[in-house]
Amino acid sequence: MITTQGNAPGNTTYNVQAQKSHSDKASDDIENRKKSPDSSGKDVVSISNDARKAIDNSITNSQDQYYEKFMPTYEGFSATNIAAGVSSPASEPFSSGKSFNQVAIDARSSLDRNYEKLYNIGKPYVAGSATATDRNSLMGELDRRALYAVVSNEGGLFTKYEQALAQSTMSQQQGLAMGLYAGPISESDKFIDPFFGDSAQQFKAGIQFLDQVSNEEKAGSIDFAIQRASMQQAYELKMHDLGETPEDFSTIHPLVNLILQALESRNGIINYESDGSIFSDSEDLRNQPWFSNYSDRLDEAVKKTKDLYLG
For 134-181, the pLDDT digits (tens) are 999 999 999 999 999 999 999 999 999 999 999 999 999 999 999 999
- Summarize pLDDT for 249-268 with one digit per residue, the tens: 999 999 999 999 999 887 65
Residues 78, 136 contacting (CB under 8 angstroms): no
**Tally of CB atoms within 10 A around 193:** 15
* Cα 211 off chain centre by: 10
The residues pairing with 184 across neighbouring beta strands, listed in sequence order, are 14
Output phi, psi for 207, to 5 deg: -60, -50
The radius of gyration computed from the CA coordinates of the chain, to the nearest angstrom, equals 20
Contact present, 226 and 288 (Cβ < 8 Å): no
Spell out a b/e string for 53-90, using b for 16 or more CB atoms within 10 Å of the CB, else e. Answer: eeeeeeeeeebbebbbebbbbbeebebbbbbbbbbbbe
Asked whether the beta carbons of 107 and 149 are under 8 A apart, the reply is yes
β-strand partners of 14: 184
C-alpha distances (whole Å) from 285 to each of 206, 218, 249, 259 are 21, 16, 23, 9
Cα(first)–Cα(last) distance of the chain, in Å? Answer: 27
d(CA 235, CA 22): 10
Instruction: State the pLDDT confidence band at 64, using cuts at 50, 70 and 90.
Output: confident
What pLDDT sits at residue 120?
98
Confidence at 62, pLDDT banded by 50, 70, 90: confident
- pLDDT range class, residue 63, cuts 50, 70, 90: confident
- Of the candidates 150, 20, 19, the one whose C-alpha atom is nearest the C-alpha of residue 85 is 150
For the full predicted model, state whether its pTM sits above 0.85.
no
Distance CA(163)–CA(296), nearest Å, equals 29
User: Tell me: the pLDDT tens digits for 95-109?
Assistant: 999 999 999 999 999
Helices and strands of the chain, counted as H and E runs = 14, 0
210, 231 Cβ separation under 8 angstroms? yes
| Contact in structure between 157 and 103 (CB atoms under 8 Å) | no
DSSP helix/strand/coil, 5: coil
Q: How confident is the model at residue 49 (pLDDT cuts 50, 70, 90)?
A: low
Rounded distance between C-alpha atoms, residue 203 and residue 218, angstroms: 18
